[in-house]
Every structure is written in C-alpha cells, then in structure tokens.
Amino acid sequence: MRIDVLTLFPEMFESPLSYSILKRAQEQGIVAIAVTNIRDFTTDKYHKVDDKPYGGGPGMVMMPGPLFDCFEHVEKLAPHRGRVILLTPQGQRFNQAKARELAAEERLILIAGRYEGFDERIRIGLNAEQISIGDYVLNGGELAAMVVIDAVVRLLPGALGDEDSAKDDSFSVGANDHSPLLEYPQYTRPEVFRGMKVPDILLSGDHAKIAQWRCEQSLERTRQWRPDLLDAGDLGERR
Ligand code: 6GU
C-alpha cells in the first residue's frame, strides 16, 4: 500500500512513523508513506495558504490553490488514485470497519486541514471523502491522519509479526480485530502480584474451557463498559 499525506506540518508525522509497527512495516515494504508540505506549492512571496472567509466570521480558511497544486503533484507519484480523504470533524466517524475497508486499498491520499476549515471547492473539486475520528474538535487533521494510518497499517498482511498475528487468529468471539466485543482480560507472569492471583482457569491447560471463559469475559465486559456495542444493528460496525 502507498499512503500520501498532504499537510502544512509534515514534521508532526516524523515521530509517529518512526517507531514499532509503523517503522517496521515501512522498512519491510508493506507500506510506503510519503508526507508532502502543502506550503511548498504556494506561488506568492509570503507562501500564503489561508485567507479570511467570504461573508465574514472568525478564523482563516485553507485556500484551494496551493492544495490543488500539491494534490496534482502528489497524485502523479503513483499509478492509482486510490481513496482521497479529507480529515475533518465534519466527516463520517472512523471505526474498525472503515479501517478494514481502507486497508484493502492500493493507495490512500490523506489531506490534513488546519485553520477553520477547507474552502468548500477543495472537497468538491477533489471529489474527496471526509473522515472524522470522533465527536470533538482537534486543532487540525494531522493527529487524525496519524490515527487512521496506525489503524490501517496494522491490518496490512505481515505488518504485525508472526507472534501478534497468531494471537489475533481468533480463539473465539471477542478475541480479535474482527470482533465487535471488547477483549477478554489478559495476564502474564507472575502468577501472584501484590496478592492478586491469575484466574485458575488460565493455568488449567484446558484450552476449550479457556476459550469459553474468554468468550464469556468479552461479553460481560462489553455489557458492563460498552453496552452501546451490543445494540441491535451495530454488531461488527463499531469497535
Ligand atoms: Cl479529522 N479533524 C479535526 N480538526 N478535528 C477532529 C477530527 C479531524 N476528528 C475529530 N475531531
């Protein structure tokens, strides 16, 4: 997969892309991520990327010119156009189902906005989808783009090492990315920590019983902490 990011703050992406799974996935050629600075496509002396809104009001709006020029440059860097996505609080809510959908694409072009928003002609002219990561307002789309990248890349074949993917292989409902339920509780050594003991069943060696217990735990925790996930019609969509 190739992911292009268009942003006014390319440096914000350096650290998140340089560690752990995202680092390894790039090194192994599972994903190529290229970050391009929209400001490099300004043509005026002041490298202006935003202006006051027509009709008045507070804040500044991202101008269409530099963004279109940047997009047209980036678009040509690979054969497929892929999915073009604006990160904006007006977008559809991002979730695991959307992450899986995007992970099936050859290419994503993510556009992170700053200021009060994008000139409407950017969305229309680029025929872009819009994604939001939740019902709160961030200072820009950069962190949201990183969330999308993180969630998508870990779903690409080979991105998680053997160990992790085997674990995700699903013992039961509630154990993995494909489940609409919360995860069951996990324990590692020591067997007793500050008086708290690992449940006996996990030490029993009875794999069928353990799978059953984990399934029940998943259901119970979901009922307790995220009952909204169990609402009819929502299974498989959220999480
Ligand atoms: Cl994608 N952008 C901004 N600015 N705020 C957000 C968001 C995106 N998703 C949730 N809040």
**pLDDT by residue for the chain (239 residues), tens digit each?**
999 999 999 999 999 999 999 999 999 999 999 999 999 999 999 999 999 999 999 999 999 999 999 999 999 999 999 999 999 999 999 999 999 999 999 999 999 998 789 999 999 999 999 999 999 999 999 999 999 999 999 999 999 986 555 454 443 344 456 678 999 999 999 999 999 999 999 999 999 999 999 999 999 999 999 999 998 555 555 44
134 Cα–ligand 1 center, Å: 7
Please, which residues bridge with residue 50 across strands?
Answer: 62
Distance in Å, CA 46 to ligand 1 centroid = 27
Atom of ligand 1 nearest to the CA of 141: 2
Please tell me the class of the 2-153 domain.
alpha beta
Distance 157 CA to ligand 1 centre (A): 28
Tokens of 183: 């995860």
Beta strands 32-37; 2-7: pairing state: parallel
Architecture category of domain 172-238 in CATH: Orthogonal Bundle (1.10)
Task: Indicate the pTM of the whole model.
Answer: 0.92
The DSSP bridge pattern shows strands 192-193 and 196-197 to be: antiparallel
Q: Catalytic positions, please?
A: 89, 116, 154, 169
Domain ranges (residues) in the chain: 2-153, 172-238
Q: Ligand 1 centroid vs 147 CA: distance in angstroms? A: 11
Phi, psi torsion values for 170, nearest 5 degrees: 80, 105
Query: Ligand 1, closest atom to CA 132?
Result: 9
Among 179, 180, 183, residue whose Cα is nearest residue 214 = 183
Cα–Cα distance for residue pair 118/163, rounded to 1 Å: 42
Rounded to whole angstroms, the Cα distance separating 136 from 119 reads 21
Pocket test for ligand 1, best of 93, 133, 146, 149 (most atoms within 8 A of CB): 133
Pocket of ligand 1 (CB under 6 A): 87-89, 91, 132-134, 136-138, 140-141, 144
